Chain A
Amino acid sequence: MAKLNHILLAATALVAVSGCAKKRPQTLPPAPLTGPSGAAGGPVRAGDGAGEGAIVPGSDADFRRSVTSNTVNFGLDQYDIDPQARSILDSQAEWLQRNPNVRITIEGHCDERGTREYNLGLGDRRANSAKNYLAARGVSPARMTTISYGAERPLALGSDEQAYAQNRRAVTIVIG
């Protein structure tokens, strides 16, 4: 609990922020960048901020560094939200509630071990699974759109189980 008190103490000295103990506190611009959590690393895109190192609140960069991950993964041919995905989507839902005017799109993706058209349908299933979960956590469906990329945009390029597991995913992206 000592750590919690420390964070709350720090938070009161900053611009008001919701008192969610699980979150890292927001930093004021300009601030040294750390890579966004969960997603495949890399610096914040330049257009997201007012300059090098600036992260606009409510932007996709802000989203990615605030939530546990912008990506949930699925089993082979599956589209159900497992416990790990639940906790990731919970953190997304909390951020979305703190940023109520932000819209998102959820991309559904598949691994290459499926035929092309079926994968378009399966990607749609996964995107909608994530969307439905977020809706059940209080995010208005009117803020959310979905798109399926089937197996057209793999994250990992190998033809092995490790790569396939990474490619079976739903990615939440803030679009403004």
Chain B
Amino acid sequence: MTNRESLPFGPSLSKPRPAPGRQRKGSLSTSAGRTGWVGLVAFLLATPAMAQEPAPAAPRQPQPAGQDSELVVDVTGGISAPMPIAIPTMPTPAVADTPAGSTDTLGRQLSEIIATDLRNSGLFTPIQPAQLRTVAFPEVTAPAFDYWGGTGAQALVQGFIRATGDGNLTVGCYLYDVSARTELTRQGFVVPPADWRRAAHKCADSIYARLTGEGPYFDSRVVYVSETGPKARRIKRLAIMDQDGANHRFLTNGQSIVLTPRFAPNQQSIVYMSYLNDRPAIYVYDIGSGRQRLVVQNASLTFAPRFSPDGRWILFSMATAGNTDLYRVPAGGGAPQRLTNSPGIDTGGSYSPDGSRIVFESDRSGGQQLYVMNADGSNQNRISFGGGRYATPAWSPRGDLIAFTRLSGNFRIGVMSPSGGGERLLTDSWKDEGPNWSPNGRVLTFNRSGRGSGGSEQLWMVDLTGVNERRIPTPLDGSDPAWGPLRP
């Protein structure tokens, strides 16, 4: 039985904080490849009604909406009472054909992507689109609050999509408090047609962040190992997709076993382990060019690679003469530096978000347990003392929790504080393994295995309450998921 907060408006798992998204205004990505994300632009439209600036930093008091206070979603309690939200189809001021489709079709699809993102968070119940009336373009900034109040929605998302004429798309995104009849936030995005889905994810992120106070996470990708074939001889390929399963593509051809991929912090490459030429080793794969390079030369078995948060190091495990220890190597290549030197199998490894410490697993005490050390290998201390074995630690990007696989009969996903206390188990299946954090530190993706010769490998997600558990759709089976950073 998972140990979750039972009060509907109980204390949040962490203090709400202003959405980091607000600090991203005006950021432009360096378009290393074809995805030239142009960035946010301010609106130059007719003045909306009561454009409020949302309150910053003060912790929110969760209260039922409509009681003369700001609309708020409690990330812990909200799971038991998701907020009804209306997301009508986004109108277009002029129907135009684009490489992504015609703008009226895109308007419907945008609203569907936003609804799916918010629904999948477990905190929102989008009202069925069939029950929402069509919104005309002028109404986007002047909502008919009387009507929306009648639908039962507490929040309303309106927006628009327009072809800019220079080949891009402009998407507007407005969030309204239905009962208070106020605008809560607005954002605009200019995107090339190939990136049109990202505008929906950015919009959903701004809504989620504004209402929960948590960081955004919808505009992100997952890299994983796609699996198919008989259990004795699985064909494994690296694959990448948006966190909602869209834009899926394979990165390797399946001729060699591939394992445990991880994004670089700048998202331009992936580090992973491959059995290419029957020599298990770690490689950095450049997403733009499709080329890869060997990370450590002339090594015996190397595996379990991760980037440091600043992208300067690759942490990995190396087995020599029957013993496995942790090492790091400069990300561009060079001489590995040994970090651990115990007779146990030391592997796994996950940096704290500030890069100063590493949590890893070691069986030096007899069975797999979690240890924390400084990033240079000094001051190694065990942190797990519960009644089982602990493996695959992953430090949350918020720094407040370490996720792990607990082995005691079944394999279960759990979290604990970096000092080892407050252990909570989030899942309870036969074999759940390898948790990996969303960019906002609120959701974990992991691998769920089925029993027996026909047992499948699947990707799942669960959030910190342990309640909202759901499978991620993939074309084939999947394992070793790693969630990439928020895309800028």
Binding site for B on A (CB under 8 A): 77, 79, 112, 114-118, 120-122, 124-125, 127-129, 132, 146-149, 152-155, 157-159
Contact assessment for A117 and B392 in the assembled complex, using a CB-CB cutoff below 8 Å: yes
Given contacts A128-B322, A158-B452, A159-B451, contact A118 B234 (CB under 8 A): no
Contact assessment for A118 and B361 in the assembled complex, using a CB-CB cutoff below 8 Å: yes
Contact assessment for B319 and A124 in the assembled complex, using a CB-CB cutoff below 8 Å: yes
Contact assessment for B319 and A121 in the assembled complex, using a CB-CB cutoff below 8 Å: yes
Q: Give the chain B neighbours of A116 by CB distance below 8 A.
A: 259-260, 392, 433-434, 479-480
Contact assessment for A124 and B324 in the assembled complex, using a CB-CB cutoff below 8 Å: yes
Contact assessment for A117 and B411 in the assembled complex, using a CB-CB cutoff below 8 Å: no
Nearest B residue (CB) for A132? B322
Identify A158's interface contact among B257, B322, B434, B453, CB under 8 A. Answer: B453
B435 nearest CB across to chain A (Å): 11
B304 at the interface (CB under 8 A from A): yes
B215 at the interface (CB under 8 A from A): no
Contact assessment for A120 and B304 in the assembled complex, using a CB-CB cutoff below 8 Å: yes
Q: Give the chain B neighbours of A129 by CB distance below 8 A.
A: 322
Contact assessment for A124 and B392 in the assembled complex, using a CB-CB cutoff below 8 Å: no
Q: Give the chain A neighbours of B361 by CB distance below 8 A.
A: 115, 117-118
Q: Give the chain A neighbours of B345 by CB distance below 8 A.
A: 118, 121-122, 125
Q: What is the 8 Å Cβ interface bit string for chain B, positions 225-269, against chain A (1 contact, 0 not)? A: 000001111100000000000000000000001011000000000
B251 nearest CB across to chain A (Å): 19
Contact assessment for A154 and B392 in the assembled complex, using a CB-CB cutoff below 8 Å: no
A137 nearest CB across to chain B (Å): 17
Q: Give the chain A neighbours of B452 by CB distance below 8 A.
A: 157-159
Identify B231's interface contact among A79, A114, A154, CB under 8 A. Answer: A154
Given contacts A116-B434, A118-B345, A147-B278, contact A153 B411 (CB under 8 A): no
Contact assessment for B301 and A125 in the assembled complex, using a CB-CB cutoff below 8 Å: no
A127 nearest CB across to chain B (Å): 8
Contact assessment for A120 and B411 in the assembled complex, using a CB-CB cutoff below 8 Å: no
11 further A-B contacts with Cβ under 8 Å, apart from A125-B345, A159-B451, are A79-B322, A115-B407, A115-B434, A116-B260, A120-B259, A120-B347, A121-B345, A129-B322, A148-B280, A157-B232, A159-B455
A155 vs B233: C-alpha distance when bound (angstroms): 10
Contact assessment for B278 and A115 in the assembled complex, using a CB-CB cutoff below 8 Å: no
A158 vs B368: C-alpha distance when bound (angstroms): 24
Mark out the residues of chain B between 359 and 374 whose CB falls within 8 Å of any chain A CB in the assembled complex. Answer: 361, 363, 367-368
A72 nearest CB across to chain B (Å): 15
Q: Give the chain B neighbours of A132 by CB distance below 8 A.
A: 322
Q: Give the chain B neighbours of A117 by CB distance below 8 A.
A: 260, 303-304, 317, 347-348, 361, 391-392
Identify A124's interface contact among B301, B391, B411, B453, CB under 8 A. Answer: B301
Contact assessment for B348 and A147 in the assembled complex, using a CB-CB cutoff below 8 Å: no
Given contacts A124-B324, A129-B322, A148-B301, contact A118 B453 (CB under 8 A): no
B223 nearest CB across to chain A (Å): 15
Interchain Cβ contacts under 8 Å between A and B, 5 examples: A116-B434, A117-B392, A118-B347, A128-B321, A148-B319
Contact assessment for A153 and B232 in the assembled complex, using a CB-CB cutoff below 8 Å: yes
A16 vs B433: C-alpha distance when bound (angstroms): 56
A112 vs B433: C-alpha distance when bound (angstroms): 12
Q: What is the 8 Å Cβ interface bit string for chain B, positions 195-233, against chain A (1 contact, 0 not)? A: 000000000000000000000000000000000001111
A127 vs B456: C-alpha distance when bound (angstroms): 28
Mark out the residues of chain B between 250 and 309 whose CB falls within 8 Å of any chain A CB in the assembled complex. Answer: 257, 259-260, 278, 280, 301, 303-304
B405 at the interface (CB under 8 A from A): yes
Identify B347's interface contact among A79, A112, A121, A149, CB under 8 A. Answer: A121
Nearest A residue (CB) for B368? A118
Query: Which 6 pairs across A and B sit closest by C-beta, in order of nearness?
Result: A128-B322, A157-B453, A121-B345, A121-B324, A124-B319, A159-B451
A124 vs B225: C-alpha distance when bound (angstroms): 22
